[in-house]
Structure formats: C-alpha cells, structure tokens
A and B are shown apart, each in its own frame.
Chain A
Amino acid sequence: MPSMSDRPSLPAPSDGDRSERPDSRAALPKLWRNLTELAGAPSISPEEIPPEVGELVHLGRRGFLQVLGGSAAVMGLAACRPPHEKLVPYVHQPVEVTPGTPQAYATAVAIDGLATGVLVTSYQGRPTKVEGNPAHPSSLGAIGTFEQATLLDLYDPGRARGREVLGQPFALRPFLVRASELAASHDADKGARLRFLVGPSSSPLIGDLRRRLLERFPRARFRTWAPLSEDARTEGSRVAFGQPLDPRLHLDKASVVLALDADLFGTDPEALRQSREFTSRRNPGPDLNRLYVAETTLTVTGGFADHRFRMRPSEVLGFGQAIAAALAERHGLAQLRPLGHSLPAGSPHLRAAAAVAADLARSRGKCLVAVGPGQPPAVHALGHALNAALGADGATITYRQPVLHDTQTGPDGLRELAAEIAAGQVDTLVCTAWNPAYSAPADLDFGGLLRKVPHSIYLSTRQDETWARCNWKLGATHPFESWGDARGRDGTASIVQPLLAPLWETTSEAELLSAILGEGRSTYDQVRDLWRSRARLAGPAFEQAWSAWLAQGIVPATAEPVVRATPRWEAIAAAVGAVKLPTGGLEVRFAPDAKVLDGRFAENAWMQELPDPITSLCWDNAAQVSPATAGQLGIDNGAVVKLTCRDRSIEAPVWIVPGHADGAVTLPLGYGRATTVPQPVELDNKPEPLANGIGFDAYRLRRSTAFWFDAGLAVTATGRRWTFAVQQGDFAQEGRPHALSYTNGDWPKQGTHEVEEHRGPQPVIIEPVNYDKEAYKWGMAIDLSRCTGCSACVIACQEENNIPVVGREQVQRRRQMHWLRIDRYFSGTAEDPVTISQPVACVHCESAPCEYVCPVNATVHSDEGLNEMIYNRCVGTRYCSNNCPYKVRRFNFLDYRGEMEPTEKMLMNPDVTVRVRGVMEKCTYCVQRIERSRIQARVEGRPIREGEVKSACQQSCPTEAIAFGNLNDPTSRVAALHRDERRYDLLHDLGTRPRTAYLVRITNPNPELT
C-alpha cells in the first residue's frame, strides 16, 4: 500500500469566503477543482453555478476518463469517437498524484459508532475501492459488506443535500447565523428545552463537542438511539459486574465456544475479527475448535457451527440455565448452582445441555460463552457467570470500558425523550440519529411526535421518513468527504480523513454541533487541536505524529485498558430468577437484515442485490418460519400472511427456512420503506428510491418493552402471494460431490482416500499444455472449513470489477451479474439441516470448455493459463455460458449501466473495462491487479512477490478462506493448499483441470452428540 505520509494536509485558508466549509474545501480544494476541470467540463466560470453541484453535473462521460491524466481511458467498448477529444492536465499537480497510478488512503468507517479501519484506493481523487486496514484491530485486513457498501452511498445521486430551514433553503453561512440565533434562544433556561437525539458515537471529536455543548446548556440532554441497540448486553454486564463493561471475545484462544443467540460472524460489530480468530483454529486435527450455537434464526454463525440447537428466543435462557445446572451438579462448579435450572423432562435439548456442559467443563480456561444482543440482560449476566466459573475471564474473554459516549442507546432513552416531547417540554430537537421516525418502536409513535417539536433539526444522508417530519433538514456529509475521528470497539482511535471534497452542498455532524455552539472553526482544525492536546504534542513533533496516524489509519496506544471484572453472584442469580420472558403463542424475533442491516443500507443497490447468506433472497425480506411451523399454519413460500402481535399487525410474505426454530417467526428489520423520496434535483435520470415497495416493515410490530422478541403472535394467511427474487436455484446438492464435508473423526480414516478421486490428472487424448515452466501460474484455493458465507467477497468483487446491479425484476429472470456467487447447500433433515457455503467464481479451467466453442476467440488462454475474457472481442453468442459446467459466466442481456450520472462514473475502477450490452463477462482472477503488479515488478526488475497480487475476494475475506497466488512458487500459500490432502477439484471428472481448488470442509461435532 502506498504510504499516506506524503499526503498534504493543507491549512485552512483564512479568507472568509473559503472558510465556510473549511474542512473539506481546505483540505482538497486544489485537487478537486482541478479534478473537475480536468474532466474537460465546458468552461463554466464558478460564478454561474454553485461549485459543489455545478462542476460535477456538467461533467461529461468522456470527461471523467481524462481524470486519468491522459492514460488510456476506461469505459465503453465499441468506442467510436469525435475527432480529437480533450486532454486536460492539471494546472497545479498535487505532489502525491501520479496520473494513471492509484493511491491508498487510510481512514475508518464507523457503523453505530464503532470504527473499522479501512484503506481506500483512490485514482486522482476518485475513491474506487474500500479495503480492510491490517493495522486496525477490528479489521485485521478484512472488510465486511457494509463497510464496502458505504462507497456506493458516497456517489449516490439520490443522497440528501442542501439545507432547509422551515421551508427556506439556506447556504452555509446564513445557516450558521440562523443556527446560532436558535442556540442563543436556549441560553436563557440553560437549554432546558433543548434536546439532542444522536446516533451511537465513539468519536472523541463529537465527545468534545458534546462536552462543550453541555457546558453551555447544562440542562440540555443527549439521547442516543440505535435500532440495533446493545443495551441488553451493557445492562447484563452492569448486573454481573456492577458497571457497564464491554466483553471482548478471543476466539483464537478458545477450543470450545458456546454462542447463545449470538451471530458472531454475521451482523456482530466485531464479526471480522471474530471470524478471523475463530477460523485461525479451523484446521483438522486435535487443535480443531468446536462451536455450539443455540439460536432461533439460521444465521451464518449457526450454519458454520459444529452443533446447532434451534430454540425459540425465550428458550435460550432455560438452555443456559440447564448448562449451568449441569456444570454445577456434575462438574463441580458449585458457584453456578443458584443459577442452574435443569430443563423439563422431554425437552429436546436435554442431551445437548449435558454434552455441552461436559465439553465446556473439559476445556476450562479454553472455552467461552457468548451471548447475543437479542437476549435479555439476565442471559448476558448468566453468560458472564458461566465464563467466570469456567475460567474464561482474562483467558478467552476480557472486559473493557465501553467506548460509546452513551452506554444507553436503546428504547428506554427514546421513551423518555418521547414523553418529554409529548409533554411539550422540547422546543428544539437536534436529531443526527439515523431515521428514528422509521426505526423507533411502534408504541412510541415517534414519527408523530416529531411534528410537535417547534424546531426539529434533522441531519441525514437520505430524504427519509424522519426528513419528511422535521422542519430543519440538512443533507449530511459522507464520512469519506469530511474530517473526523472514531474508535474501534476496543477503543483504538482512527483519524477519519476525507478522500474528496463534498460532492454536494452538505453538512457534517461536527459542523452542525459546532454551529449550535456558535463556533466557525473548521472541523479539520478542531480534530487537529483535539488530538494535539490529547497527544500532548506540539509543532513538528505533532505534525510528524499526525501524518503517521493518517498513514497508519490508527492512533497507537489508544485502546481501552483491560479491566478486572468480578462477578456478583447474588445479583446475577437474582436477575436470572427475576427475569420475566414473554411466552405463549408463536414467538416473533426481530433480526438485523444481512443486506440492509437495520434499514440504513436500504438505498444501497449493492446490498439490495446481495443474496442473503442463508435464504439467497435479494431485494426483499421475508417472515422466516421453520418447515414444521409452516406446515401447521398451512402456508408455503411466497404466501402473504397477516402477523398480529399485541393488537398491532403487519402483512408479510413467508419464506420457509430449514433449521429455523419451530413456533417462532423471524422478521428481518429495515424493509418496507414507502416514503423515501428521490433527491429533487435536475438529474439526467432521476434515481428511483430503491427500497420503495419491497419487503415489509417489521418495526411496526416492535415494542419498546419487547425490543428483540415477543410472544403471542398470530399468523393468518391472506390468500395473496408474493414473488421473491431468489438468486439460488436449488438448495440441495442432488447427491453430487460439489461441496464436500467430513467430520474430524471420519476425515483421516474415510475422507482422505474418498477425496482422492476428486483430484489428480484425468486421462486425456491430447497432452495438456504444461505451465510449470512459466514464471507465474496463477491459481486459487478456497477452504470450505473457513468459509462462513458472510458474502464480503461478493461485494468486494462487485466493487473492484465494475459489476453492474441489474435489479429485482432481472434477478427474477435469473440474470444477476455477480462474478462470484456463494452457493449454500442444505443437507440432512429440513428440521436440522447441515449448512455449507461454497464460493464459486470462474475456476479458470486449463482445459476450458467455454473456450473452444467461442467462434471469435473472445475467451482464450493466456500464456500463464488464465482463462481470459476479452469483452471487446465478444459478439455475444452465449455459447460459452452454455458450455460452462460451473455456470459462472454472466451476460449483459440489457444495457445494465445505462446513462450513468457523473458521480456514478467516478465509482468505476479505471483498470477494468466497463462492459456494454451484449457481451459475456466473468471472473478474471482480478487480472488488472496481476498486470499492475507485473509491470511494477518488471519496472523494478524483480519477480512478483508472494502476496503482492491479491484478488479482491481474497483481500476482503475475514477468514482467509480464499488464497490466491503463483502455483509455480512452491512456497506460496496457494501452492501449499493445492498440495493439501483436503484439496479437491469441482466437477473433477469432467477433466477441466480447474485452477481453483477447494479444500474439504472439516467439522468437529461432539462425539457424545452423534
């Protein structure tokens, strides 16, 4: 990664006009203005149109290509051109910019206030790719779907923009004045009628602003709201230790892991690190760890588990208690006795509880119990107790002070605020939390209350439900557009630096808060001053440190210290004893959605089209039920049902998920958006709100008192039906050896020689070409033992390779374009299926069936044995796809790009041709990265180093399940994996000689349970 250190951090210019939005304008204006002019915009003087909008909107398509400073441009195949296109250089070329060569900048993406360090690849000021920052403890080099998807949001023409106060549009300067006037009106009563509703934040900068705001308005109150609040988790630790502590799991140290309704590898904020740590011990042999999962909904974690116990949400506590009881009775952990409570006779989990307890007891100090945020505090407390009793504390689990400014982010705070608003005690509500009108529990009717507030100030990236109900509306600046800071879950701080100046007239949270403080200082200065004082540095020393922080993406030694946590057994016992769980009837469980999380990614096309890791649904959510429950209710896939719970009801289509707990319904949050309106600006093609009219809104059934699950749900069929967009055809392997799996026990004896027949040479008439003499023989290996199916690679591939989104209707026609798909297979019984996920992209057959049928040489082999796809030669007979046994080729049935908005073109990776209608495309092993590295290496007169070329999927993978590299280098990881005894080839008997090898999945079931 090119170092960040040479990055200029220009001081904020002093001239008043510029200092309006100094942070962005100051840091990058030169680069940016040149960038736009670079693009050969018609020479419009800045006066004619507002700079933020105008220059970009007037940017021609060809224009942007010139951003590449004159290198061969990117897009469009059949390029017929006007004579002599424009070639527009910089006026002042920024020192760190080399036309035609990308830079990587380190920054951080914070979701619900918890930062993940990222490296962003940027071409002359155009961020095009988000990757994990290896130096960051929450990333370790991996990157999740959501962090990557934020890049698409950045360029989305549908983003909210501008400032509107009581119907009047405001430029920044007048707005600052207006805001300070409003603030002044609260000085009299010290802000008694001033309220802030913010999203979870760990940013020291925001913290500092909050402190200063409360100094000026002592009686004002800050409330934090997150639809996926982890209050129960915090509360649980408060019960267990008397103080809110943040447990940190060290899965690499644990041999036995029990997850109680915890989606460790899915939607958990630490999923990246946890996946990496857990799979680091996912190798066959004595050291192989074991994962038990007790959950309601089938999650990626559950699918990856060695044993999965499906139970209604309310049963988890009982299961935990049963384990506690067993540990107390049979394994001498007496301190657990008061917590223990064995399961009623006839419970399906009797054996399980006993076996898990025994297994945990066997591996004291090397085991841990994790509890998910969806479980009540008592269960968390129980979890802490179990960990303490099992000697996990300090060994496999450590505790830190929470990094969020407000430990309380859930419905309770919101309820109090709602009460205050209802009582008319709030004159001004400053809302920077994400869309509370939509995401607040239904019983609070927060959307309705908002209208009661005389001055409701809402800062948002979207014109969403809340936007419609507030009277001060501010388009929010994207993190990649503004300065700031954020902390990871362990407290490690990162400086958030802008990659480009704001694309549109927008405001950042820091700007808004300091505006209310009546301060005009740029965020850039504020961050630097704050960190100067925190670091107790000055002058050159600070500048040096500062640029080092920017370059590394983290501020060293800022992690929270580990604190000793001693469980308060009585309190825990009391809490566990006192807990009242809703029971009776069907249970409903609210779950974050794998695609849109809590709904904030609903407008993100990448996430919408990403197939759900379990159901493979896209552009939709569904009421998930088990086959048995569906049978009892007499409903099938696609049946629209009426869900009634405590006199509230919604209608939702049903999707039957094997392995779902009986007697419960899972409702993924975040869909059913009807009110997101497109940005009302003159766009060539107005973006339709993506999320409108798809899915259903589960928030309407969610109560602040039953936040995560509830009972007494009634389901009645409406007789209507709904057609889903499902990307996967069939979920069974049909007895075919595609995704191979063995248990740790069977593997050495039985598996090793069974796998033999799925690898090795096939008899052929013609002696195949031998690539061993070549300098490089690129290959890939995918370890099914590590793949959780999290889908990060799918988005990474989409981002790297300019893969278009085709939309719901086209997916229903089976025309999705993902080069890399994750096949998930269910085997065994529909009640307790074995789930296995298998990433499949082009396997680059050496004897490729697709090639010899192409009449025009559009797909052929390179001298190094890559299966090349040459888009500009393709005439689109689609014969190659017919003859591809892996069906990994994708065809541009329609013009999926259409006329792109200028900002959408900025997203395109200039190293990859943008495909036109009528051509075939497929995974290229990221050949653009290979060639870039090759040229770099050959210019420097050295061979390409191991690990220098990483495929996008490999780079993103949290579990390092994907290895890519040079098979002719015996020391490379991929070569080693190709030699591994677990290696096998997909559809080996066809003799296609694939370059991508798979490694058999090894599970580690507990012998007592098999």
Chain B
Amino acid sequence: MKTYVLAKFADEGAVLSAARALREGGHRALDIHSPVPIHGAEEALGLRPSKIPTLALLAGLTGAATAFLMQWWMVGFNYPINVGNRPPLSLPAFIPIIFELTVLFAAGAIFFGVMILAGFPRTHHPVFEVEGFRSASIDGIWLSAEVESLDAHPMVDQLRTLGAGQVSIVPEDLQVVTP
C-alpha cells in the first residue's frame, strides 16, 4: 500500500536539510523536485552516480567496431573491387565512417539511456495529482516521500516540523488529501 506525501519548501537549503533528516530517520524512498538542479540533492538523497557515461563508452566502442567490421567485410572480403588502383582495404578511407558511427551510437545510447534510467516516458505519476505540484517546473521546490498509507500522517507531521509549507497526501486511490 504505497502513498505519496508531498511537501513544498521555501528554499533549497530547507529541502536539503529536510531530506537529510528524513534519511537519518530511516526513510529511503525520498525525492526532491525543482525547476533547476539543486546542488547537493544527490548527496542528500544518497543517489549513486549515473551509469550514462559507462553506457556511452560501450556504445561508442560498439559503433567503432561495427563501422570497421562492416567496411572491412563488404569491400575487403565480400566483394573486393579494384577502385582506381587503390587496395580494397584502405584503412585511412575507413576512418571517417568509423568516427561517425562511434558518435552516432554513443549519442543514441546517451539519449535512450536517459529515457530508460529516468523511466521516460511517464506522463502520469501520483505526484501530478497535487495541483500545487505544477509549480515544481516553474519555481516550486518539493520533497516527495513514498510511505505505507498508515505512515502517511506521521510523515506529514514530521515534514511540517522540518519546515515544509503546504503538505499533501496522495493515497493509492489518488484522492489527494490536504490535512
């Protein structure tokens, strides 16, 4: 039985300290929403560094290998043709395409990496149920906590004490409660 508790904070410092406090209190399922990246958020929420760079590297290498093997097999092995007296396997001539495919594969991996790791597309999320949450992409700074429905109200109080402004509960049935 999952329930989301959303709390709006006045400034970045407040939300960070609240997040830290809650983590110390043993809450792991926390998230911070803000129109711009908040420095320290990852640390406050204890997020590990992104896997994107590794993905990009692997994809890039794959691209390079693909490009080279493709050209080598096609013109060097499958149908070698005498083109203007140049040897079928002229590596320098392969470089441009090797490079381009490296970039193409890496870029693709990066973009779709974000899509998958960030769970896009996800047009609906319980937090969207809170009308006020619309400010999260404009100027609002929010903290969301995912709790058992029974723990929702205690969490509300805790957040209040941590200096939250408006607090809302989004239960399973998505009927927003604003205590």
Interface, chain A (partner B; CB < 8 A): 766, 768-769, 845-852, 854, 857, 860-863, 993
Contacts and interface: CB of A to CB of B under 8 A. Distances in A.
Contacts of B82: 769, 860-863
A910 to B, nearest CB: 27
A769 B85 contact: yes
B87 A848 contact: no
Contact of B83 (A768, A861, A993): A861
Interface in B56-113: 81-87
Interface of B: 81-87
Contacts of B86: 766, 852
Contacts of B85: 766, 768-769, 846-848, 861, 993
Interface residues of B: mostly helix, strand, loop or mixed?
loop
A861 B85 CA distance: 8
Contacts of A863: 82
A851 B83 contact: yes
Given A769-B82, A849-B84, A857-B81, 15 more contacts: A766-B85, A766-B86, A768-B85, A769-B85, A846-B85, A847-B84, A847-B85, A850-B84, A851-B84, A852-B86, A854-B83, A860-B81, A861-B81, A861-B83, A861-B84
B102 to A, nearest CB: 21
Contacts of A847: 84-85
A863 B84 CA distance: 12
The 8 closest A-B pairs by CB, nearest first: A851-B84, A861-B82, A847-B85, A852-B84, A848-B84, A851-B83, A768-B85, A860-B81
A850 B85 CA distance: 11
22 contacts: A766-B85, A766-B87, A769-B85, A845-B84, A846-B85, A847-B84, A847-B85, A848-B85, A850-B84, A851-B83, A852-B83, A852-B84, A852-B86, A857-B81, A857-B83, A860-B81, A860-B82, A860-B83, A861-B81, A861-B83, A861-B84, A863-B82
A863 B81 CA distance: 9
Contacts of B81: 857, 860-861
A852 B86 CA distance: 8
A388 B158 CA distance: 135
Give the most central of B81, B83, B85, B86: most A CB within 10 Å: B85
Nearest to A865: B82
A744 B67 CA distance: 60
Interface residues of A: mostly helix, strand, loop or mixed?
loop
A600 to B, nearest CB: 46
Contacts of B83: 851-852, 854, 857, 860-861
B95 to A, nearest CB: 15
Nearest to B82: A861
A854 B75 CA distance: 14
A715 B136 CA distance: 92
Nearest to B81: A860
A854 B84 CA distance: 10
Contacts of A860: 81-83
A846 B84 CA distance: 7
Contacts of A862: 82
Give the most central of B81, B82, B84, B87: most A CB within 10 Å: B84
A735 to B, nearest CB: 29
A991 to B, nearest CB: 10
B178 to A, nearest CB: 65
A514 B84 CA distance: 64
Nearest to A765: B86
Nearest to B85: A847
A268 B42 CA distance: 98
Give the most central of B81, B82, B87: most A CB within 10 Å: B82
A847 B82 CA distance: 10
A766 B83 CA distance: 13
A847 B85 CA distance: 5
Nearest to A863: B82
A850 B87 CA distance: 16
A854 B86 CA distance: 13
B87 to A, nearest CB: 6
Nearest to B75: A857
B165 to A, nearest CB: 64
B111 to A, nearest CB: 29
A501 B97 CA distance: 61
A850 B86 CA distance: 12
A312 B83 CA distance: 56
Nearest to A850: B84
Contacts of B84: 845, 847-852, 861
Nearest to B87: A766
A175 B84 CA distance: 65
A847 B87 CA distance: 11
A869 to B, nearest CB: 13
A846 B86 CA distance: 10
Contacts of A845: 84
A315 B87 CA distance: 65
Nearest to B86: A852
A793 to B, nearest CB: 27
A860 B81 CA distance: 7
A845 B85 CA distance: 9
A849 B87 CA distance: 14
A839 to B, nearest CB: 24
A848 B83 CA distance: 8
Contacts of A849: 84
A878 to B, nearest CB: 17
A732 to B, nearest CB: 31
Nearest to A861: B82
Contacts of A857: 81, 83
Contacts of B87: 766
A604 to B, nearest CB: 39
Contacts of A768: 85
A847 B83 CA distance: 8
B86 to A, nearest CB: 6
Contacts of A846: 85
A851 B75 CA distance: 14
B68 to A, nearest CB: 19
Contacts of A848: 84-85
A847 B84 CA distance: 5
Nearest to A991: B85
A604 B78 CA distance: 49
A850 to B, nearest CB: 7
A848 B82 CA distance: 10
A852 B81 CA distance: 11
A552 to B, nearest CB: 45
A403 to B, nearest CB: 55
A860 B80 CA distance: 11
B71 to A, nearest CB: 13
Contacts of A854: 83
A111 B1 CA distance: 107
A4 B20 CA distance: 107
A862 B81 CA distance: 8
Nearest to B93: A852
Contacts of A861: 81-85
A849 B81 CA distance: 15
Nearest to B79: A857
B74 to A, nearest CB: 10
A586 to B, nearest CB: 55
Contacts of A852: 83-84, 86
A768 B84 CA distance: 9
A776 to B, nearest CB: 15
A851 B86 CA distance: 10
A895 to B, nearest CB: 29
B78 to A, nearest CB: 12
A860 B75 CA distance: 13
B175 to A, nearest CB: 63
A854 B83 CA distance: 9
Nearest to A993: B85
A993 B82 CA distance: 15
Contacts of A851: 83-84
Give the most central of B81, B83, B87: most A CB within 10 Å: B83
A863 B87 CA distance: 13
A493 to B, nearest CB: 53
B29 to A, nearest CB: 56
